[in-house]
Structure 1
């Protein structure tokens, strides 16, 4: 891949970035697939499983702005190479935590810190690489890497655990990620940064009303998505009564339809045009998710219905993040994409930090129906804020 191809836009560059995103998400989202094993290995409650997920998100969130500043200052390539290698090392480190729950929290936090490089770097690469008129589709394809990596991690971790220890799945993923990092380092040219590390220009972003409303929407989108991802496997096991492998299959199916949703949403947003088109598509997806989460409030136990609902949630809320980031990058200057993405992802993560432990507490005290009602309410607020964003752009 030549520097000119990266600069002028090429699908090959888009594919390289999407592949990197897949490998990075394969590492990070392995912890979501391992919730059942963590609960058993450490003999902890559902709320402590939520704290385990929160530790990863905390590390992810704390390092987002430093990662965004590094991307804007030095370009995305060095950040992506170092980040993916760090993810591989941290994931393997998680497997050596038992029986210490405290050590588990520390290693998962380091995994999250390594994953903080993902969105600022990959979004900058996509904005530079996308062919003219196809930015939303390119962003959707890149975001497919998140769902593809997450879905694959569900199959690998739960599938390997059928014949071996769950840690073996983590080791296999770590080896794959390290290998991809080395290939990526030799094949991807990247785009230069400013050459200096600077603090993000948050004051300027704060004056952008559409951006602020979009970040606020991201808070509630993150709360809904991370609660759904964090408890899908446990919900299917506890309420439907399946084994870990089938429960992991439901999570994987959600990721597959999330990929379809991101591609379809990006293509439709390109036809509608610009940031407004992206906001319109995301608004429709979130409204659909409200109805689906409401179904989970009053139903439970049917495997067929559960699959149908989670598959549809993949098409709606889980498939909305591509157009969310397209809209975000469309309302800020290109030179601020790293910092702007860090702000948006921080909002998503803060929602994810708060919601999963709260969801777990509600489940323990009241039941899954009340937990899904909480998620439905969060999605309603996100929908209202997306409506505000659409009116401002």
Structure 2
């Protein structure tokens, strides 16, 4: 039993690593923006479309992955998805130009569809509710952690050897994640794989009407838009507005991703201790990101020092929200539908992930500045905040059943 309790930390480590490795290349696209624009002759809108391409298939793929995760062992579902990411990126080194790169990223998105909900479910199944927020925060920190390394490494690789070499690098890192998860992940003792029928339509509609789930999905869609905007626009903003060099701007993005790692862990750990579940931490993040982006709209935001501080702030809250948010999703779902609930909530986020990056790029191209892009993100976050607070008075989902936690966390 004690050995099983210790093994949960191995599960947490491997799930975090696989998350970071699978998203490594896509999360580095923003940092490579200057090189990609130079080598492929891209507009800002086309650069944003690269990120959207990687997120397009998960609109449906996350729902499919959720069904698979409720019926199959996460070990093979996640491992196979990360393997698809690796193969697609490796093969992408042979494709010609921008159109080929878009096609590669569509396949990458299909593989990544299983990694996000699968890793979350694997961690949730091993940790008791009293520690689940912290564990989810650490696991979800894998995304900005991978992005920070990608922002540091991929621009150097692309600058020295070209964008195709960056694809190969991303494929190799994703392959390491796939091998690690398939080798090390095990289900908790006492938790069997139960064959399960496809999720009935009535269950899906009930989840969509559940106040806690609606509140969570609205907040997620607003905050994921901010995360996309920071990832795509930080380097370009610092380079064009604050007159920072390309290398220095990329380092600021690395630091921003680093504060995101801290935010995901710290905010998720805090959400374990507040008396109203995870919602308070998510609301705090929405208020904080509105304040941070408002600074970028002021004349002070044109100063390199002020802009850097604003982006670090946005990293902590604009990336940190995901830890408590994903813990809230798992605790809002029926115990036997956790995978589907994660897939559903994350697929709603995908709508924003697909639509927002090219829209922000188009606004920047048409206006010649960044104010419309920041203004749009502020408006979306405020709308999500108002809607979330209004539904906050509705019935909150109960904590997971005790027997679920006892099985999931042997001691």
TM-score (norm 2): 0.88
Kindly indicate whether the alpha-carbon contact (under 8 Å) linking 1:62 and 1:113 is maintained by their aligned counterparts in 2. no
TM-score (norm 1): 0.92
Say whether 1:151 aligns with 2:148. yes
Q: 1:173 to 1:54 in 2, by over 3 A?
A: closer
Deviation at 1:368, TM superposition (A): 0.5
Equivalent residue, structure 2, for 1:357:
358
Question: Which blocks of at least 5 consecutive residues in structure 2 are unaligned?
Answer: 397-411
| Aligned equivalent of 1:224, options 212, 223, 226 | 226
Equivalent residue, structure 1, for 2:127:
130
Equivalent residue, structure 2, for 1:306:
307
Alignment of 1:96-245 (within 5 A): 96-99=94-97, 101-131=98-128, 133-190=130-187, 192-196=192-196, 198-199=198-199, 201-245=203-247
Q: How many residues align?
A: 388
Equivalent residue, structure 2, for 1:17:
15
Kindly indicate whether the alpha-carbon contact (under 8 Å) linking 1:10 and 1:131 is maintained by their aligned counterparts in 2. no
Equivalent residue, structure 1, for 2:293:
293
Instruction: Provide the C-alpha distance between the structure 1 equivalents of 2:248 and 2:197, rounded to a whole number of angstroms.
Output: 47
Deviation at 1:176, TM superposition (A): 2.7
Kindly indicate whether the alpha-carbon contact (under 8 Å) linking 2:81 and 2:114 is maintained by their aligned counterparts in 1. yes
The CA deviation string for residues 60-114 of structure 1, in whole angstroms up to 9 with x for no partner, is 3231111111111102111111011111112223333332x22221111111111
Q: 1:194 to 1:32 in 2, by over 3 A?
A: farther
Alignment of 1:260-339 (within 5 A): 260-273=262-275, 276-299=276-299, 300-339=301-340
Question: Which blocks of at least 5 consecutive residues in structure 1 are unaligned?
Answer: none
Deviation at 1:162, TM superposition (A): 4.1
Instruction: Provide the C-alpha distance between the structure 2 equivalents of 1:333 and 1:55, rounded to a whole number of angstroms.
Output: 32
Deviation at 1:196, TM superposition (A): 4.6
Q: 1:290 to 1:381 in 2, by over 3 A?
A: same
Instruction: Provide the C-alpha distance between the structure 1 equivalents of 2:348 and 2:58, rounded to a whole number of angstroms.
Output: 12
Instruction: Provide the C-alpha distance between the structure 1 equivalents of 2:316 and 2:391, rounded to a whole number of angstroms.
Output: 21
The CA deviation string for residues 298-334 of structure 1, in whole angstroms up to 9 with x for no partner, is 2343221121111001111211011111111111112
The CA deviation string for residues 154-207 of structure 1, in whole angstroms up to 9 with x for no partner, is 111012234332332332232232133223322211365433562464123123
Equivalent residue, structure 2, for 1:5:
4
Which stretch has the larger CA shift, 141-150 or 244-253?
244-253
The CA deviation string for residues 12-50 of structure 1, in whole angstroms up to 9 with x for no partner, is 222221122121222432333333222222212111222
Q: 1:197 to 1:178 in 2, by over 3 A?
A: farther
Instruction: Provide the C-alpha distance between the structure 1 equivalents of 2:57 and 2:19, rounded to a whole number of angstroms.
Output: 18
Deviation at 1:365, TM superposition (A): 2.0
Instruction: Provide the C-alpha distance between the structure 2 equivalents of 1:3 and 1:127, rounded to a whole number of angstroms.
Output: 18
